[in-house]
Chains A and B, each alone.
Chain A
Amino acid sequence: MHEGARTEPMLLAENAELRAQLEGAEETLRAIRNVEVDALIVESATGPRVYTLHGVDSASNRFRGEILAQVSDAVIAIDGHQRVTYANAAAERQYGLSPSWALGHLLSNVYETRWLRPGDESAAETALRERGEWRGENVHLRQDGRELHVESSMTVLRETVDQRAGVLAVIRDISDRKRAEDKVRVSEIRYRRLFEAAQDGVLLLDPDTCKITDANPFMTKLLSYPHEELVGKELYEIGLMKDEGASLEMFRKLKSEHHVRYEDLPLKSQGGRHQEVEVVANLYDENGRAVIQCNIRDITERKRVEEHNKLLMAEINHRSMNLLAVVQAVAHQTARTGDPATFVARLFDRIDGLAASQDLLIKNQWEGVDLADLVEAQLAHFEDLIGARVMLDGPPVRLTPAAAQGIGMALHELATNAGKYGALSNDDGRVHISWQFGTANEPVFLMSWLEEGGPTVALPMRKGFGQMVIGRMVEAAVDGTAEVDYRESGFSWRLSSPLAGTLQKGRLASSPGNDARG
């Protein structure tokens, strides 16, 4: 715009602005004269230069400011009214503040303080009042809601000895450290619980001294040693290694291979109890220190079960072979009589009887069969008559597997014959089955099958397989003698055999006296 074109209002505005600038310049000079400023900024060829007006104090202030700006901990100064007079860059980062935002604000606008324990706040106030400083931990809640676990060091700032100007706080964010400590604490509790509750013995050893440094409760139970007696001992002293040499050999191997495993180590507890144990030891680093962890598992029961299973497998194999031989003989003998239809019916019937005995044996894990159970199994098709027309009388006895097989087949034949031709073939006949112990040259087992009230008995026309089963086969099974009597008044069968081969050892009678059944 041309100068001559300026209107009066424009000139008035320009005049007012110039006057304002002049007043501003005068005001600046007044402020400098009244020492209301502490620095002048002068333009130079290299840019603005700051000239402070307070000599050494100002320079040292600046120096201090530079140092505080560099420290990684948050540094905050407040005045007597809790307003922030200084906050370094670390404080701005720690509390998520934009640069210089905190300055002049109340400290409570920067963060809220949460004390960890009820008395902490008053303790801090007392310390600042009486000693001029306080150091401790608390939680700062940022404006954005984030919690910081901090360690603070607070010092009272004084203008004079008696006049308090404010407080300087150096605040370190220890949230990460706290989290790590919490993790370690949780981990310690968790693994301590594992150690305490483990159902394996755990020993910790010092590889240099070869001595036990700690033992879990299960270890003390395993060895019957109290904890304090275990600690400080060497392995051979607690019966885990046979002698010092064996113990040293284990440590030598551990140091070179960092791992050893021993199976089937015999362990003798303080009470003299022998146990089989499995030992797994590892050498590992524990915060720069070598430690040996020894896990000891009591495998006595496992070994017993393994042995039992091995025996059982051999027994099953042996029994299976025997059973097949019996089936073969039964089939062969049955085939000699009757037509094919009768052969099939008889064979199936006899194999059913054999299967009943077998079933009982398997249920009892080949550890024998209770005789009363065997009788009931073989007479299953006369179940309704047991107790009424079929009377059982005898003590509880457990037959060996061989005796169970032989007597079982004999009972099957006896029951079949009684149903077809004997006491159970009419409405009135009765069968008495009894067993007892007797003595001859040696203790014997006596068993009898006595029939009465049946049709008149006639001698069989010929000796079939049934005769062989109740005779030679059962005799062979119990190494005894069987007698058969075809009296007119009733058929009878008697078996006598040595106790040793007939009944399971230790199972002669599970309760004394006769246990009348049926």
Chain B
Amino acid sequence: MPTNIIGAGECEAMGAAAASANARYVLRLYITGTTSQSTRAILNIRKICEEHLEGRYELEVVDISQHPTLAIGEQIIAAPTLIKKLPLPLRRFIGDMSQTERILLGLDLRTAVAKASPARNS
């Protein structure tokens, strides 16, 4: 059972809140060592954060190749996986984070088009 099930209405409300300049983002990126996808994912998400969330984000990078147990409880099925823990709702992004527009939508940083084209999430 998903640990973060919230109502769609609430989800939209939170998305609107996230669009505000004050929302603080807590992100966690699961990678597997120094593989090319993992390295690209780190660089891409860091660039997105610096450009769109300057000064209001925390990005934790978790290497599950060294410690697989760190994936417990987060329903990680592939790496790299980015989880937006805050602001709610919780969202997941899989891949090398190169599809910037889709990521921005999923992070509710593109609210005008977010409803029409939701980001991939779980």
Contacts and interface: CB of A to CB of B under 8 A. Distances in A.
Given A17-B6, A28-B120, 17 more contacts: A12-B9, A13-B7, A16-B8, A17-B8, A20-B121, A38-B38, A39-B35, A40-B78, A50-B64, A50-B79, A61-B34, A81-B43, A100-B61, A100-B62, A104-B45, A104-B59, A105-B46
Contacts of A13: 6-11
B64 A41 contact: yes
A42 B39 CA distance: 22
Please list the 7 inter-chain residue pairs (A to B) with the smallest Cβ-Cβ separation, ordered nearest first: A104-B46, A27-B120, A16-B8, A13-B7, A100-B61, A24-B122, A36-B95
A23 B121 contact: yes
B76 interface: yes
Interface in A13-60: 13-17, 20-21, 23-28, 31-32, 34, 36-42, 47-50, 52, 54, 58
Of the four ranges (under 10, 10 to 19, 20 to 34, 35 or more), the interface on chain A belongs to: 35 or more
Contacts of B80: 37-38
A62 B43 contact: no
B55 interface: no
Contacts of B38: 38
Nearest to A32: B78
B61 to A, nearest CB: 3
A72 interface: no
Interface string B1-42: 010011111110000000000000000000011111111001
Nearest to B35: A38
Contacts of A10: 7
Interface stretch (A63-71, A269-277, A301-309, A334-342): A63-71
B88 to A, nearest CB: 12
Given A48-B72, A65-B66, A104-B43, A31 B32 contact: no
B79 to A, nearest CB: 4
Interface of A: 9-10, 12-17, 20-21, 23-28, 31-32, 34, 36-42, 47-50, 52, 54, 58, 61-62, 64-66, 69, 77, 79, 81, 83, 85-86, 99-100, 103-105
Contacts of A37: 37, 78-80, 94-95
A105 B50 CA distance: 9
Contacts of A99: 60-61
A61 B72 contact: no
Nearest to B76: A41
A100 B83 CA distance: 16
A14 B7 contact: yes
B52 interface: no
Nearest to A98: B60
B108 interface: no
Interface of B: 2, 5-11, 32-39, 42-43, 45-47, 59-66, 68-69, 71-72, 76-80, 92, 94-96, 98, 118, 120-122
Contacts of A31: 78, 94-95
A47 B70 CA distance: 10
A12 B9 CA distance: 9
A58 B8 CA distance: 40
Contacts of B6: 13, 17
Nearest to B94: A31
Contacts of A81: 43
B78 A39 contact: yes
Contacts of A103: 42, 46, 61
Contacts of B65: 39, 50, 52, 62, 65
B8 to A, nearest CB: 3
Contacts of A65: 33-34, 63, 65-66
B122 A25 contact: yes
A40 B42 CA distance: 18
Contacts of A54: 35
Contacts of A48: 64, 68-69, 71-72, 76
B94 A28 contact: yes
Contact of A61 (B8, B33, B78, B96): B33
A85 B9 CA distance: 39
Of A24, A37, A42, A52, chain B has the most CB atoms within 10 Å of the CB of A37
Nearest to A57: B35
Contacts of A42: 77
Given A36-B96, A100-B63, A47 B78 contact: no
A99 B62 CA distance: 9
Nearest to A28: B94
Contacts of A50: 32, 64-65, 68, 71, 79
Contacts of A20: 118, 121-122
Given A47-B72, A48-B68, A61 B46 contact: no
A13 B13 CA distance: 12
25 contacts: A13-B10, A16-B11, A21-B121, A24-B92, A26-B120, A27-B120, A27-B121, A28-B77, A32-B78, A36-B37, A36-B98, A39-B64, A40-B79, A41-B68, A47-B68, A47-B69, A48-B68, A50-B79, A62-B33, A64-B34, A65-B34, A65-B63, A85-B39, A103-B42, A104-B46
Nearest to A102: B61
A40 B77 contact: yes
Contacts of B95: 31, 34, 36-37
